[in-house]
Amino acid sequence: MSAIQRMKVANERHSKTITQRGHVQKTSVGSGSTYSVSPVLLILASLLTASSVCVAAIFQIIQSIRHGM
């Protein structure tokens, strides 16, 4: 296929978008509310992170008490 033919095919394929300028959907993906990470997993991860910080702080306090600050 020559360059002219490829250009003609590309122009025909995209001419619909150009003639409907301003009326094109914002996204080509469906408008469903899909999450990349479910809210339950996000909450679980944040709780695990927070609890590990608290446990680390408790161990730090115990260690400082044992060593007499």
Q: What is the predicted pLDDT for the residue at 30? A: 60
Give a yes or no: residue 45 inside a domain.
yes
First to last CA, the chain: 80
Range of the domain at 61: 37-69
Ranges of residues in the chain whose predicted pLDDT is under 70: 18-33, 69
Give a yes or no: residue 55 inside a domain.
yes
Alpha helices in 1-68 (DSSP H): 3-19, 39-66
Q: Is the full-model pTM beyond 0.85?
A: no
Question: 45 vs 22, 42, 50, 52, 55, CA distance in Å?
Answer: 42, 5, 9, 11, 15
Give a yes or no: residue 5 inside a domain.
no
Q: What is the predicted pLDDT for the residue at 53? A: 87
CB atoms within 10 A of CB 45: 11
Q: What is the predicted pLDDT for the residue at 20? A: 66
Q: How many domains does the chain have?
A: 1
Question: 54 vs 47, 49, 63, CA distance in Å?
Answer: 11, 9, 14
